[in-house]
Amino acid sequence: MGGGKLIIFAAPSGSGKTTIVEYLLKQEELNLAFSVSATSRPRRGKEKHGVNYYFITINEFKRHIKNDDFLEWEEVYRDNFYGTLKTEVERLWAEGKNVIFDIDVAGGLRIKRKYPNKTLAVFVKPPSVDELKIRLKKRSTESDDKINMRIAKASVELATAPQFDKVIKNYDLDTALKEAYELVANFVGVERK
């Protein structure tokens, strides 16, 4: 695999990484394209196949694992697999794009280890675990059990922050967006606005 740069945004659920990634994708001068992950979990809300995720069955996911089709993959929760298909990154690089990921912590670190010189790995840190719980409840997309699973996982994920190239503290969204823009612009070689 050759091509452009890889920009990873990873964080516990509810930290704001998706909002940051969506903002960065709108900044045309960064030449970013979103890497759509594959998942075995069911769709939530208005999610669309091929836009938010490639929704595939558990059996299809396991077949891709066996065929070594993933750049990285993880069983994030029992029978909920997530992964980045190699073909997705190759497709975006063929378009001349830098690839941006909204990804779980373990997957982000795997990509960084595979491509250390062409990857910027950014960890988005929430104000607190309590604030995370509030944000997840406001989404109204998951049961209390799922939210509690995500909160338990968040404590483990927060401990990985030092393994990333940069940490953005998302206490104030506007500040976090500016910081994220500057990090990515510097990494891909774009003059600041």
**Angle at Cα 101 formed by Cα 182 and Cα 88, nearest 5°?**
135
pLDDT for 126-179, tens place per residue?
A: 877 777 777 677 776 777 887 777 777 777 888 899 999 999 998 888 999 999
143: buried, middle or exposed (CB in 10 Å: 19+, 13-18, 0-12)? exposed
Q: Which residue has the higher pLDDT, 140 or 49?
A: 49
pLDDT of residue 178: 97
In sequence order, what are the residues at sequence separation of 6 or more whose Cβ sits closer than 8 angstroms to the Cβ of residue 18?
Answer: 102
How far is the first Cα of the chain from the last one, in angstroms, to the nearest whole number?
31
**Does the domain spanning 6-188 belong to CATH 3.40.50.300?**
yes
In sequence order, what are the residues at sequence separation of 6 or more whose Cβ sits closer than 8 angstroms to the Cβ of residue 67?
Answer: none
